[in-house]
Amino acid sequence: MDLTQLQLSNLSVAKDVEKAFDIIAGIVFDKLPTSVILLIGLIEGLIGYSAQLLVVSKTVAPLSYWQMCVFLCMGGNSTTWMNMAVLVTEFPTE
């Protein structure tokens, strides 16, 4: 992709910036059912990781730097939504 070391480092930060969106997932979790939270995580992961796979496998031409930042952020952020749905959900006890 012909990127500099600084650009690669910034892409790594874009992947990890998902932790900044935890608060949004938490607020939305209080308002929507667990299935919707899982669906949000699924869609973000599907789009983010699919775009990365297509670029790495050279199925599509390399994307621009900012597009890769967005897709890396989406892929990483999908785990935030999944974790919120799975780890915070309270199961009824008998």
User: What is the C-alpha R_g of the chain?
Assistant: 16
Is residue 11, in this structure, part of any structural domain at all? Answer: no
Q: Return d(Cα 44, Cα 37) in angstroms, integer.
A: 11
Measured CA to CA in angstroms, residue 74 lies from 4, 7, 55, 93, 94 at distances of 22, 18, 15, 35, 38
Indicate the number of domains in the chain: 1
Is residue 49, in this structure, part of any structural domain at all? Answer: yes
Is residue 56, in this structure, part of any structural domain at all? Answer: yes
CB 72 within 8 A of CB 14: yes
Is residue 26, in this structure, part of any structural domain at all? Answer: yes
pLDDT at 23: 82
Domain that holds residue 59: 21-87
Q: pTM of the full predicted structure?
A: 0.77
Is residue 6, in this structure, part of any structural domain at all? Answer: no
pLDDT at 53: 94
Is residue 14, in this structure, part of any structural domain at all? Answer: no
Is residue 37, in this structure, part of any structural domain at all? Answer: yes
CB 44 within 8 A of CB 75: yes
Is residue 93, in this structure, part of any structural domain at all? Answer: no
pLDDT by residue, tens only, the chain of 94 residues = 677 888 888 877 777 776 776 788 888 888 999 899 999 999 999 999 999 999 989 999 888 888 988 898 888 888 888 888 888 776 655 5
